[in-house]
Structure 1
């Protein structure tokens, strides 16, 4: 990926950020089934639901990369790993804290989870924008 140029095209950055926000909304809230959402939180048998959920995110990232900066297709694999790690970490911490929607720790962990995903997507948007600026 290299370093960021001194100036980035603002329109491209805004478009990339919005596209990643939409990708996250669709993948996390429209395409995530209850099997994925509940399964990835289990003590055992969590790998397949988590992998399926992270794969949906990775596919969305791949589609954005192919459309905007094909050389960065590998961000999809990175998205898979990061998304899975963040979600699994949230699940493990929530279980240890006995977090439920009626506890503050549940909402704090959900906020941290969503913030980490947003930060990841912002970095991806910067990468796509920098690739466009370099082209």
Structure 2
């Protein structure tokens, strides 16, 4: 069980939020290869590139928790799973809607995808800050 106190340090919340924003930028934009980006959206053969991309997210989340609260490093697996589901759902919706980056619908999906990832990170940042505040 993860204990979340009634009060969490503002400094820890700020640091955790910044850490997860940086993690997301690195994993989603700098560390995502062309193979991952194109492969995860294919109708077939998408699992390996999506797993690799989601694995990068999970590994980085696990590394953050290892630095503050090693028993919570398993949240990296949860982050990887949630990230993979969100990305796959976006891919399926884009294919069903037949949208491309030249259409507003694509950018709406992209925005929803990013918002869901950041919402995931809000939850992770709270857990991270709670663990840091307790220590």
1:31 aligns with 2:21: no
Partner of 1:126: 126
Provide TM-score, normalisation by structure 2: 0.96
Q: CA deviation at 1:103?
A: 1.1
Instruction: Within 5 Å, give how 1:91-106 maps onto structure 2.
Output: 91-106=91-106
Partner of 1:57: 57
Provide TM-score, normalisation by structure 1: 0.96
Partner of 2:9: 9
1:87 aligns with 2:91: no
- Where structure 2 has 5 or more consecutive residues not aligned to the other structure, the ranges are none
- Where structure 1 has 5 or more consecutive residues not aligned to the other structure, the ranges are none
Partner of 1:48: 48
- What CA distance in whole angstroms lies between the structure 2 residues aligned with 1:132 and 1:65? 9
- What CA distance in whole angstroms lies between the structure 2 residues aligned with 1:64 and 1:37? 24
SS at match of 1:95: helix
- What CA distance in whole angstroms lies between the structure 2 residues aligned with 1:119 and 1:3? 20
- What CA distance in whole angstroms lies between the structure 2 residues aligned with 1:54 and 1:2? 23
Q: CA deviation at 1:7?
A: 1.0
| Structure 1 runs (4+) greater than 6 angstroms displaced | none
- What CA distance in whole angstroms lies between the structure 2 residues aligned with 1:15 and 1:114? 20
CA RMSD of aligned residues (A): 1.1
